[in-house]
Amino acid sequence: MPNFLYVQKLLSSKVEYRLLDVYELPELAATPFDFVFFLGVLYHLKHPLLALEIVCSLTTDVAIVESFVTDADTYQETHGQVPTMEFYETDELGNQLDNWIGPSVECLLAMCRAAGFARVELLGTLGKHACIACYRNWEPMPDHLETDAPVLRGVTNTRTGGINFSVKKEDYGTCWFQTSRAAIRRTELRLDIGPFGIPALFVKQDAGDAWLANFRLPPGLPPGWQELRLRFANTDFSAPCRIAVDMPPKPSALALIGVCDGADWTPNIVRAAISCWVEGLPENADRANVFIAIVGERLPAIFVGPPTAEGHRQVNAIVPADIAIGESAVAVTCGGMTSNSLPVVFLSPGPL
């Protein structure tokens, strides 16, 4: 600290000196840094992956992560094996009570990727330590690109089926794309969400030339609309799809325009499925935040359509088999707001 304060005064620097626990860093709400040095800290932490996620969220370009590893001398011989980590309950490592874990080199690399970095590079091992460069973005595209860039068809929150995501939750996403390639390895994909790259977790051929890929949100995304796009290592990016990150739905007003049967479109008479036409839904309204209210019940939407030319959106739901037969009031709710209600006659559901 004395050396820091001396140099700070000498350079008239505005850089602050802070002494904090790593888990306190998110509470600062600090502006992220281009470069972060995380040296000799990881193996002293009880929650190492959480710490790496915090480091990732505070990095916009490169983080240098250095840690004790269990196989610095034999890494080349065990390269490609399943990542392993030793756990030290008390003083098993160096007779120190604050040494918690000892990852293998492969484990350290895998943890950095799992924390949200787009790509990681082993800089080397020295003694019993390994040093890794962790990048938030993919490598630059090659000068000569192939022409078979993937075509992105859609993206959804795997848990909710909607377009809304939260960096505070364990949200996974699924995106669908088309490509003429006959085979794809997970490591060939380059996903971008907002300003950051993120690795694909799983890639699977869906049908024909359609594929799907799963991903996690990159740490440090600001709230708002974010664009997701993808490419292969040697192609340009696809056109983007948008997702909403930490954006509570905020309708200014809701108006229920009409209700009909979801199968035969009979107005105001419903059996097994119900379709509502609504005005005023926010742009990020989706299956997870729109409900149809019937006789005190909230039916989750199974479909929220795009706006029509008039600005109306279709909302569909399945009617419970035990719904009261006869006339009931129907309304639509979203973001804590409820529309006007319309009278609808419910008949015996029968088969869908």
82 DSSP 8-state letter? P
Query: What is the distance between the alpha carbons of residues 115 and 221, in angstroms, rounded to a whole number?
Result: 13
Which string of b and e fits 224-257 if b means at least 16 CB within 10 Å? eebebbbbbeebebbeebebbbbbebebeebebb
* Residues 6+ away with beta carbon under 8 Å from 103: 42, 43, 48, 67, 69, 70, 83, 84, 85, 86, 111
The domains spanning 151-245 and 255-346 adopt the same CATH topology: yes
Per-domain residue ranges of the chain: 2-135, 151-245, 255-346
Rounded CA gap, 100 and 87, in Å? 6
Q: What residue ranges of the chain have pLDDT lower than 50?
A: 352
- The number of residues making up the chain comes to 352
State how far the Cα of 169 lies from the Cα of 220, in Å rounded to an integer: 13
- Let me know if 317 is exposed, middle or buried by CB neighbors in 10 A (0-12, 13-18, 19+): buried
Arch. (CATH architecture) of 151-245: Sandwich (2.60)
pLDDT in tens, 257-287: 999 999 999 999 999 999 999 999 999 999 9
Strand order in the sheet with 196-198: 164-165, 241-245, 224-232, 189-193, 196-198
User: What is the rounded distance in angstroms from the CA atom of residue 59 to the CA atom of residue 64?
Assistant: 10
The domain over range 255-346 is classified in CATH as 2.120.10.30: no
Helix or strand or coil: residue 5?
helix
Architecture of domain 2-135: 3-Layer(aba) Sandwich (3.40)
pTM assigned to the model: 0.87
For residues 22 and 52, is the Cβ–Cβ distance under 8 A?
A: no
The 10s digit of each residue's pLDDT in 116-162 is 999 999 999 999 999 999 999 999 988 888 888 999 999 999 999 99
- Share the mean pLDDT of the chain: 92
Task: Please give the structure tokens belonging to residue 166.
Answer: 């939260």
Residue of 227, 221, 222 whose CA lies nearest to 243? 227
Say which DSSP state 334 is in.
E
CB atoms within 10 A of CB 278: 27
Alpha carbon 169 to chain centroid distance? 9
